[in-house]
Amino acid sequence: MTSLDRPVVRTAYQQSIADYWDREKDPVNLRLGEIDGLYHHHYGLGAYDPAVLDTPPETRDRAIIAEMHRLETAQADVLLDHLGPIKPRDRLLDAGCGRGGTSVMAHRRFGCRVDGVSLSRQQVDFANAQAAHLGVDSHVAYHQRNMLDTGFESGAFAGIWNNESTMYVDLTELFAEHARQLAPGGRYVTITGCYNDVTGGRSRAVSQIDQHYICNIHARGDYFKALAVNGFVPINVVDLTAAAIPYWELRAKSSVATGIEDPFLTAYREGSFHYLLIAADRV
């Protein structure tokens, strides 16, 4: 029996994740994607243009939304920058793809095939429809699969990434599956929020983030332990925390704020939470 013969969702927790994202229609994800057809499920990087806050009231919110989308797209560009020299003949995997924006960006940049996986049927259907709308569906496809056991062939991918999706799974299981799927020398990249081991466990603000997204944020050190066990050698580690704060400050002033902005800002500023990029090679 192959992994594709087994149910995609295997546990009650995974079902709760699938149910959450099947129901999710949050304007903070949808309104931003309407700008250019790239729908992201991650946060932004870099300084925002303060001029958007001085925009006349009738256009101010639209200007803030557009600026937030620019910062989220910039975040995806930073991730793709760390995949290394990908060629058009290569194949990439977007693990925990959401509505698929980063996959589209990867194809446009490298010209290669990109597959995305999500537990959510709603996300997969939306992403495939959007790929067709953008005219990239011959090279970009999304699948309802479990990223811990995708069913893709071993050694098929030159690069794999998780963009803010590792907090939903066991890291050792995840990196074992990624190691199986990556060709030798392939590159893995993640951008993730992780709690600071030095502070001694999850802070109150980090626990609020967990509760909001029904996720399980890992300690920073857990990433490096699980990567090492599965034959990955880090080549770049970048602390993006300071670069992430302006996005949350701007989002808190927007009409699409959800109430989770304060815990993020608190956690980042107090040092209990880090926004980290890790790039590692499969050896």
SS3 content of the chain, % helix, strand, coil (to 5): 45, 20, 35
Q: Report d(CA 219, CA 196) in Å as an integer.
A: 6
Q: What is the pLDDT along the chain (283 residues), one digit of tens a residue?
A: 334 567 899 999 999 999 999 998 878 878 989 999 999 989 999 999 999 999 999 999 999 999 999 999 999 999 999 999 999 999 999 999 999 999 999 999 999 999 999 999 999 999 999 999 999 999 999 999 999 999 999 999 999 999 999 999 999 999 999 999 999 999 999 999 999 999 888 999 999 999 999 999 999 999 999 999 999 999 999 999 999 999 999 999 999 999 999 999 999 999 999 999 999 999 9
Strand partners, 20: none
Q: Give helix 204-213 / helix 261-270 axis angle, nearest 10°.
A: 140
Tally of CB atoms within 10 A around 177? 21
E-strand stretches of 31-139: 91-95, 113-118
Q: Is the model's pTM score more than 0.85? A: yes
Q: Report d(CA 279, CA 94) in Å as an integer.
A: 14
Burial class (CB in 10 A: 0-12, 13-18, 19+), 83: buried
From its phi and psi, is residue 271 left (phi > 0), alpha (psi between -120 and 50) or beta?
A: left
